[in-house]
Structure 1
Amino acid sequence: MMGLNLLPVLAVGLAGSVHCVGMCGGIVGALSATAPRRTIPIVPAAPALPMAAAFDGTARVLTYNAGRIASYMMAGALAGGFVNGAGALALAAHWQGVAYLLANAMLVALGLYLMNAWHGLLRVEAAGNRLWRRLLPAMKYLLPADTLPKAFALGVLWGWVPCGMVYSVLLTALLSGSAARGAAVMFAFGLGTLPMLLGLGMAGARLRQAMQHPAVRTACGAMVLGFGVLGLARHASGLSHGWLDVLCLAVPA
């Protein structure tokens, strides 16, 4: 069994969230701007305060992200539970080694993708389109997401959008060895993406434009690339590197 470190998973989510600007930025901005439906009062009420409107938008953004992270945790639990069941197989140890190698290779691919240096990860995203096409028709029942339940359901649905970054971290969830640990991996990842999406909900287009700057994407991509390269070096040497092991996604026991 491999020990999992959630700190680098959180950091990958934080750095990789520049990718979320394009994937989720528009829908988060719409949630902030959408006014909830209200019944027409018999007695005219005072105009709604801007603070109350901002609170409504923030609540919807938070609820949407709660649903999104819940779907990540569900996928992580399925991945971790699958490997837990496969752990009884004689080749489980060998399989875990291969999965560890692939998980870090995917981080390298993600880092290069964020840096706009290589777009091979788009092929991985294309593999998830079949499932997404089956889920997409449900979106018409959730838009506009003007209530909290609809915002949560939209987040759950949006969590299954084909995303190479999510797939990269799911390989780490595969290494967890249990459904609970797999869910914890994806929770840490989702938590890392949360500040960016909350910021998009509040700052909107200005933050979206800033995060798409090549220098920002290169810096974030370099961080993710570094985690992947460190993990591959750890795997190649087979040696413990002391405190540097904290920066690896998984450490062989």
Structure 2
Amino acid sequence: MLYTALIFGLLSSFHCIGMCGPIAMMLPVDQRNPAKKVSQIFTYHLGRITGYASIGLVFGLLGKGFFMAGMQQRLSIVIGVLMIIVIVIPEKTFAKYNFSKPVFRLISKLKQILGSQFKKKSYQSLFTIGLLNGFLPCGMVYVALFGAIAMQNSSLGVLYMVLFGLGTVPLMSSVLYLKSFLSLGVRNRIQKAIPYVVVLIGVLFILRGLGLGIPYVSPSTMSLFVQANPNCH
């Protein structure tokens, strides 16, 4: 299921262009030195992916807890259902409930630190901008984290989020070179396709949990099953 992270990251980058694109376009990179500019952009992405990986570690450990408890099959189904629910329910509905209120001050502080880093032009500041960018609230990241939990392993949780981040790199980098390489109409059409892809990924997770005996999609004997009474010889 790791491949879903890369695919979802690639498609999510069209959403990222609208949400995080302004941050990328404001990066204090050297426009007169192409080679240095590439290394600076790489540093920004490294920080961003490090942020995703850190969150993936936490959620991967959470998934491992379910794995050890023998709940992995049901967890995969629940994760798939949650992915679909998050996409199907209108964003305005979630907006009525301020889930971020308890951590509003923390997010506000992150934004203040993020703003101060744009005044600097060091590699450290670029890495910090990317790192903080990775921790900013984002619906697409939330959905990817569902996948990280379903990996039921801390290392795979990290890898899932790293692949998600890598999937966003091509388009997010292109923004810095071709700021209008895609028309608004094209971006809107692609963004409309994202919910269908998320639902498809959600269905894959549900099938994975059902264990229907479909090779690669829903194997009947999955390595993530834990036997309550293992036979030891």
Shorter-normalised TM range: 0.7 to 0.9
CA distance in 2, matches of 1:15, 1:85: 30
CA distance in 2, matches of 1:21, 1:67: 17
Do the aligned residues in 1 keep the contact of 2:77 with 2:208 (CA within 8 Å)?
Answer: no
CA distance in 2, matches of 1:208, 1:110: 27
Identity of aligned residues (%): 25
TM-score normalized by structure 2? 0.78
Number of positions where the alignment pairs a residue of Structure 1 with one of Structure 2: 220
Whether 1:230 aligns to 2:207 is no
Q: Report the alpha carbon displacement of residue 121 of structure 1 after superposing the two structures with TM.
A: 8.0
Q: Report the alpha carbon displacement of residue 76 of structure 1 after superposing the two structures with TM.
A: 0.8
Unaligned runs of 5+ in 1: 37-49
Whether 1:81 aligns to 2:61 is yes
Do the aligned residues in 2 keep the contact of 1:80 with 1:179 (CA within 8 Å)?
Answer: yes
Q: What amino acid is aligned across from residue 146 of structure 1 in structure 2?
A: K
Instruction: Name the SS for the 1:242 alignment partner.
Output: coil
Do the aligned residues in 2 keep the contact of 1:145 with 1:154 (CA within 8 Å)?
Answer: no
Q: Report the alpha carbon displacement of residue 110 of structure 1 after superposing the two structures with TM.
A: 5.5
**CA RMSD for the aligned pairs?**
3.1
Q: Output one character per residue of 1:178-209: Cα deviation in whole Å (capped at 9) or x when no partner.
A: 32221111111111111121121221133373
Indicate how the Cα distance of structure 1 residues 85 and 93 shifts in structure 2: closer, same or farther if over 3 A, else same.
Answer: closer
Whether 1:8 aligns to 2:20 is no
CA distance in 2, matches of 1:179, 1:75: 10
Q: Report the alpha carbon displacement of residue 82 of structure 1 after superposing the two structures with TM.
A: 3.5
Equivalent residue runs for 1:1-253 within 5 Å: 5-31=1-27, 34=28, 36=30, 52-85=32-65, 87-88=67-68, 92-94=69-71, 96-109=72-85, 111-112=87-88, 118-119=90-91, 122-123=94-95, 127-128=99-100, 130=103, 131-207=106-182, 209=184, 212-213=187-188, 215-235=189-209, 237-245=210-218, 253=225
Unaligned runs of 5+ in 2: 226-233
CA distance in 2, matches of 1:209, 1:231: 32
TM-score normalized by structure 1? 0.73
Q: Output one character per residue of 1:199-248: Cα deviation in whole Å (capped at 9) or x when no partner.
A: 212211333735532x222233322222223333454x5412224349xx
Q: Output one character per residue of 1:40-84: Cα deviation in whole Å (capped at 9) or x when no partner.
A: xxxxxxxxxx7x434343332221111010011011111222343
Instruction: Name the SS for the 2:48 alignment partner.
Output: helix
